[in-house]
Amino acid sequence: MQHQELLAIAARIRLLVLDVDGVLTDGRLWYDAEGREIKSFHVRDGYGIQQLQAAGIRVAVISGRSSGAAAARLAELRVPHVFLGRNDKKAVLDALLGKLGITAAQVACVGDDTTDLDIMQMCGLGITVADAHPEVLARAMWTTRQCGGRGAVREVCELLLAARQAG
């Protein structure tokens, strides 16, 4: 996709939907000796999310896994639409679009694995991270330069903000 075409599509985005594991994190699962989950989030991704929300672009997270660590980080970032432990991502997104009164064409979705393909492909801008599953890399409209958990979300946020300013 040409950069100008990407910017034109990105300029229409009103909602960014993110996965957690492999997008906001590097996809690895860490457990301490008591079996508590530990996750690592990149501070630049968090700042990008805050910038996006300040610019009026909504943010939602839909993940198949429940995670106290993810819930805490997303609460800290004041992400208003958080759906953890939800395997039917398409049903969740359909309900959210109805609630927000926006169309799928106005949504950018970032996923990294085949479980994300349904919602990535229903959205106006399906995005994946540099280290995504090969099938997702082949089917995404745009791929970040950064890997999941290493600044990829910030890259997406900067694209959406730049598109908004250019348009």
Most distant pair of Cα atoms in the chain: their distance: 51
Q: How, if at all, do strands 125-128 and 142-143 pair?
A: parallel
In this prediction, residue 165 carries a pLDDT of 87
8-35 average pLDDT score: 95
Q: What is the pLDDT of residue 167?
A: 63
The predicted pLDDT at position 116 comes to 97
3-class secondary-structure state, position 31: strand
Q: What residue spans define the domains of the chain?
A: 3-166
Indicate whether 40 pLDDT > 80.
Answer: yes
- Rounded mean pLDDT of 1-19? 94
Give the pLDDT score at 43. Answer: 96
3-166: which CATH number, 3.40.50.1000, 3.30.420.40, 3.40.1350.10, 3.30.565.10?
3.40.50.1000
The pLDDT-based confidence of 3 (bands split at 50, 70, 90) is confident
- The gap between the terminal CA atoms of the chain, to the nearest Å, is 18
Between 31 and 159, the higher pLDDT residue: 159
Q: Is the pLDDT of residue 1 over 80?
A: no
- Over the stretch 55-113, which tens digit does the pLDDT of each residue have? 999 999 999 999 999 999 999 999 999 999 999 999 999 999 999 999 999 999 999 99
Q: Which two tokens mark 88? A: 């039917």
